[in-house]
Chain A
Amino acid sequence: GAVVSQHPSWVICKSGTSVKIECRSLDFQATTMFWYRQFPKQSLMLMATSNEGSKATYEQGVEKDKFLINHASLTLSTLTVTSAHPEDSSFYICSAQTLASQETQYFGPGTRLLVL
């Protein structure tokens, strides 16, 4: 149980286009979802926290107008990278947690984005 999926697993896009990444909790309801960014050989950096039905809370230095997060249901959160540029190329990972187990986060396999 507690499986989180991400789609797509990798995406290549042209500079200036927008890319949407989906994060789904397959067998549980996720009251909170987190979005992380991971650079090569570096740690995961939290970008934002989203609670179902409310606006996401962004970490300092993360542009909310560039990284749009929507958490419309208890099983789905989306991250849209708007007007992507090569510096947005990275590995994006989501995680989900339930109200009953707030210390445990279940992670998706990640989405690799390459902006040309």
Chain B
Amino acid sequence: GNSVTQMEGPVTLSEEAFLTINCTYTATGYPSLFWYVQYPGEGLQLLLKATKADDKGSNKGFEATYRKETTSFHLEKGSVQVSDSAVYFCALTLTNAGGTSYGKLTFGQGTILTVHP
């Protein structure tokens, strides 16, 4: 079946440190890959996505590259801020060969990030 594995947290960093949160997946077919972020007391928000191999998703200084050869989609940010403290979820959805999504999301277990001043 399809699955997503994230590095275990929690991750604690100082402000301006470099962030990497590892994510690997197993999937049949043509997955699209996502990173969602959940700030305290709020719902999940889409952070970035990539729909095919070698695509790079980016948003708010975060980046992730779809690596088919290593089945990975690691999240990176060069300089984190206190406001980045949140829970980060890696996820995938399957699409058909034409790129149309089947809709269902499979999530990783989430990684708690805490950034200290």
Contact = CB atoms under 8 A, between A and B. Distances in A.
- In which size bucket is the chain B interface? 20 to 34
A44 B4 CA distance: 11
B44 A93 contact: yes
A32 B43 contact: no
- Residue from A4, A106, A107, A108 whose CB has the most chain B CB atoms within 10 Å: A107
A102 interface: yes
A17 interface: no
Given A103-B32, A107-B43, A42 B105 contact: no
Interface residues of A, number: 21
B109 interface: yes
A43 interface: yes
A102 B103 contact: yes
A80 interface: no
A32 B41 contact: no
B107 A97 contact: no
A102 B109 contact: no
B44 to A, nearest CB: 4
Interface in B80-115: 89, 93, 95, 100-101, 103-110
Interface in A71-93: 93
Interface of B: 4, 32, 36, 41-46, 49, 51, 89, 93, 95, 100-101, 103-110
20 contacts: A4-B43, A32-B103, A34-B104, A41-B109, A43-B89, A43-B110, A44-B44, A46-B104, A46-B105, A93-B44, A95-B44, A97-B103, A102-B101, A102-B103, A103-B93, A103-B101, A104-B46, A107-B43, A108-B43, A109-B43
Going nearest first, the 7 A-B pairs with the smallest beta carbon separation are: A107-B43, A107-B44, A103-B101, A109-B43, A43-B109, A102-B101, A43-B107
